[in-house]
Amino acid sequence: MKITNEFKCTFPAVSTNESLARAALSAFLIPADPTAQELADLRTVISEAVTNAIVHGYRNCSGEVAICLRMLPDRILYIRVSDKGCGIPDIEQAMTPLYTTAPEEERAGLGFAIMQEFTDSLYVRSSAGNGTTLTMRRRLGQIHAEQED
């Protein structure tokens, strides 16, 4: 499929980079003129995915997180977040709302629920020991009549 724009980045799995990931998403998305709601939703989505890579994938140890953002035709935003961490043994269980393997870190077990709610499609590929890749798509609404300021 034709890609209108593509931004790929990598950074270490440290929690300060959660805001870096959100900033990159915003900067990539702004030229497409998203609504404030779309921007807020998608910032939340990337934050959940990157946090999971850091907290669960690498269990707060060192590692690298990779993001790929694409703008596809028809204003479809493609988001891919991957880690080379421990992987998810049972994906269905992991996606169950409120299920978390890190209650001691006060994880709510709602990351997947939020990602699913705020995207049109979410696909998880993971294998124990080989890391996890999330692929999500969200179609942005049509651009509104231009406003002069």
Partner 1 sequence: MQIHYDTGKSQLLVLLEGEIDHHSSVMLRAEIDAALYAHMPRTLILDFHQVTFMDSSGIGLIMGRYKILQPLGGEIILQKPSPYISRVLRLAGMERLAQITNSASPEEVAS
> Which residues have a catalytic role annotated?
48, 52, 107
C-beta of 101 vs 135, nearer to ligand ADP: 101
The listed partner (ligand ADP, a copy of itself, partner 1, none) that binds 85, CB under 5 to 8 Å by sort, is: ligand ADP
11 binds, among a copy of itself, partner 1, ligand ADP, none (CB under 5 to 8 A by kind): a copy of itself
8-30 burial code (b ≥16 CB/10 A, e <16): eeebebeeebbeebbebbeebbe
Owner of token pair 């231009």: 146
**Binding positions for partner 1, rule: CB under 8 A:** 15-16, 18-19, 22, 36-37, 40-41, 43-44, 47-48, 51, 54-55, 105-108, 110-111, 113-114, 117
Residue 87 burial (10 A CB sphere; 0-12, 13-18, 19+): middle
